[in-house]
């Protein structure tokens, strides 16, 4: 809410400047933009752009400031800061005397804006940096409100609230500025009362004194009454008042009353036009639902807040509160995975916040930093135990799944090989023709080798005759045996296989025998009932092990698998 409050504080701080430096028409235009930034931001932006290109340097500075203010109100803090810093540099390099009031006022509103940008982002160190950097150039009574807010944020509530009240009583805006409307001036002081009320709420978190909540509600009531009397945005004013009252009720532990007040948001659709206000309603409702043990509703509104936080990036403290609610709700649901996740997020965010301020944290409701740490660490420690068990189970499951996938892949490959073998066997006759073509091709290719062409042809035809007679089934079917049958010597025959057939004699024999087994198992079902030893002996091997080894080498399958598949396909 400080963003909305700042809008009026800084915008209305131009009164004395206008009177001295701007003409009547310029004053009227700037005052109009101030009001439009609330009622019609897009129109205000268009007029501010026009002014920012004016020939009058001072008038141009105001236009540029309003452009930056437009982006600030949109929560685009990065762009707003960029514009403000550029404007500061222009002002410092201008011909405006450094000791003049107009120079001090221009520097003041820019530094004020930078302060609130960094405060909203939770960057209190940078917010203070700008105040300290420019404080000596400005009047001694400047920035009472800003220093008061910092003290409150750091836990120095007594002195912080004293500074805020001092600003309320001594503000230069106690008198209307030139061209300033009374209702806009009231809005400025209503915002000051709301700031003090929020400070009392924070003070209550530390001390738990009921009187502090009474003081907070008093200032909220004064602020709302001032605006409603003048009919200034009555619907939005009422919505904000209910939201602040709801927060006080929650701090007092009356979550039913608080939730009832938060639910009044339904009567004020204007809230949807203000993302920061909508966020505070969401987070407040999440907190109430959490304490009322309505876990699913608490998670819904927490998630909604976290999602919108990505747009504004405002208040790390409120984000921490959302993370904490999520952690506790998931823990209650026994969802250890998500409870662990948000506990980690909480601890990481706490480290970020502690790097900036190490005393007190500005929470929306009563959440203690040390308690969050302790609970988050407990959840993480518990999660680590389950994590070990979980990963152990996961590892076993991974082995099982991997084994299954490996087995499945192997089976698919075996099935592919089997089907390919069957297909090749069915095309046996074509295969025989293909073999003849290969022999002729080989004969032509190897004609330049040492073997005589006539000898090559003789050996080729001789082997064909032996194949036809199934001589390869004889256990004595060896190189010397075949050489004798073909009336040649083993040297020529070995050379023939190596150069013409492009394989060894042993490979040639294995191919013939396994092909015979494959074909016979397909054509003669009774053959499938033979033992592997019997099949081995039929094709010229002494034992089953040799058959199995050669069969797998030639087909990639075991004989038993091949036989089983044949049985299943018939």
Please give the model's pTM, rounded to 2 decimal places: 0.59
Q: 105: which 2 tokens? A: 């006022």
pLDDT digits (tens, 9 = 90+) for 206-237: 888 889 999 999 999 998 998 888 888 888 88
Give pLDDT, residue 9: 47
Contact 293, 277 (CB under 8 A): no
Give pLDDT, residue 133: 81
- Using DSSP's 3-state secondary structure scheme, residue 164 falls into helix
Give pLDDT, residue 428: 63
Give pLDDT, residue 367: 54
Give pLDDT, residue 182: 76
Distance CA 544, CA 551 (A): 10
Give pLDDT, residue 537: 92
| Positions in the chain whose pLDDT score sits under 70 | 1-20, 139-142, 172-180, 353-373, 375, 379-394, 396-397, 400-401, 403-404, 408, 426, 428-450, 570
HEC string for 316-342? HHHHHHHHHHHHHHHHHCCCHHHHHHH
pLDDT digits (tens, 9 = 90+) for 98-108: 888 778 888 88
Give pLDDT, residue 45: 93
Give pLDDT, residue 344: 84
Give pLDDT, residue 97: 85
Give pLDDT, residue 431: 53
Burial grade of 283 (CB within 10 A; 0-12, 13-18, 19 or more): buried
200-225 burial, b at 16+ Cβ within 10 Å, e below that, comes to bbbbbbeeeeeebbebbbebbebbbe
**Contacts made by residues 527-535, CB under 8 angstroms, sequence distance 24+:** 528/563, 528/566, 528/567, 532/559, 532/560, 535/559
Give pLDDT, residue 148: 83
């Amino acid at each position: 809410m400080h963003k909305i409050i700042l809008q009026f504080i800084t915008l209305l701080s131009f009164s004395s400047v206008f009177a001295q430096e701007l003409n009547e028409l310029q004053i009227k235009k700037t005052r109009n933009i101030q009001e439009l930034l609330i009622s019609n931001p897009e129109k205000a932006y268009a007029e501010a752009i026009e002014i920012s290109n004016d020939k009058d340097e001072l008038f141009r500075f105001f236009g540029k400031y309003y452009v930056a203010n437009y982006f600030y109100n949109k929560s685009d803090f990065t762009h707003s800061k960029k514009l403000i810093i550029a404007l500061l540099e222009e002002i410092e390099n201008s011909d405006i005397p450094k000791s003049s009031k107009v120079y001090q006022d221009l520097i003041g509103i820019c530094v004020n804006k930078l302060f609130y940008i960094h405060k909203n982002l939770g960057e209190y160190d940078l917010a203070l940096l700008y105040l300290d950097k420019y404080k000596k150039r400005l009047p001694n009574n400047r920035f009472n409100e800003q220093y008061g807010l910092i003290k409150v944020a750091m836990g120095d509530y007594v002195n912080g609230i004293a500074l805020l009240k001092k600003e309320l009583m001594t503000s230069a805006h106690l008198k209307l500025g030139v061209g300033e409307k009374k209702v806009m001036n009231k809005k400025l002081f209503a915002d000051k009362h709301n700031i003090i009320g929020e400070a009392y709420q924070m003070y209550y978190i530390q001390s738990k004194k009921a009187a502090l909540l009474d003081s907070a509600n008093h200032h909220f009531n004064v602020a709302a009454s001032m605006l409603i009397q003048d009919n200034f945005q009555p619907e939005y004013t009422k919505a904000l008042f209910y939201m602040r009252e709801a927060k006080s009720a929650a701090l007092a532990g009356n979550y039913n009353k608080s939730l009832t007040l938060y639910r009044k948001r339904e009567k004020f659709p204007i809230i949807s036009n203000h993302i920061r206000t909508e966020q505070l309603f969401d987070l407040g409702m999440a907190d109430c639902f959490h304490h009322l043990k309505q876990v699913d509703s608490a998670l819904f509104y927490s998630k909604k807040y976290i999602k919108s936080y990505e747009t504004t990036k405002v208040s790390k403290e409120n984000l921490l509160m959302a993370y904490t609610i999520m952690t506790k709700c998931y823990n209650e649901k026994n969802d250890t995975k998500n409870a662990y996740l948000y506990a980690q997020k909480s601890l990481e965010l706490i480290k970020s916040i502690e790097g900036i301020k190490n005393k007190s944290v500005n929470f929306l409701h009563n959440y203690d930093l040390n308690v969050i740490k302790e609970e988050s660490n407990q959840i993480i420690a518990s999660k680590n135990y389950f994590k070990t068990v979980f990963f152990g189970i996961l590892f076993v499951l991974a082995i099982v799944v991997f084994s299954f996938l490996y087995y499945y892949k192997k089976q698919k490959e075996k099935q592919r090989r089997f089907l390919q073998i069957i297909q090749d066997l069915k095309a046996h006759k074509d295969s025989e023709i293909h073999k003849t073509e290969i022999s002729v091709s080989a004969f032509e290719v190897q004609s330049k080798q040492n073997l005589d062409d006539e000898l090559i042809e003789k050996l080729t035809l001789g082997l064909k005759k032996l194949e036809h007679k199934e001589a390869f089934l004889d256990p004595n079917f060896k190189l010397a045996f075949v050489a004798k049958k073909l009336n040649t010597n083993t040297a020529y025959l070995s050379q023939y296989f190596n150069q013409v057939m492009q394989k060894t004699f042993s490979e040639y024999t294995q191919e013939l025998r396994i092909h015979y087994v494959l074909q016979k198992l397909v054509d003669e079902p009774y053959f499938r009932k033979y033992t592997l030893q019997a099949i081995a002996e039929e094709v010229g091997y002494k034992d089953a092990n040799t058959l199995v080894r050669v069969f797998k080498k030639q087909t990639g399958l075991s004989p038993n698998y091949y036989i089983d598949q044949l049985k299943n396909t018939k």
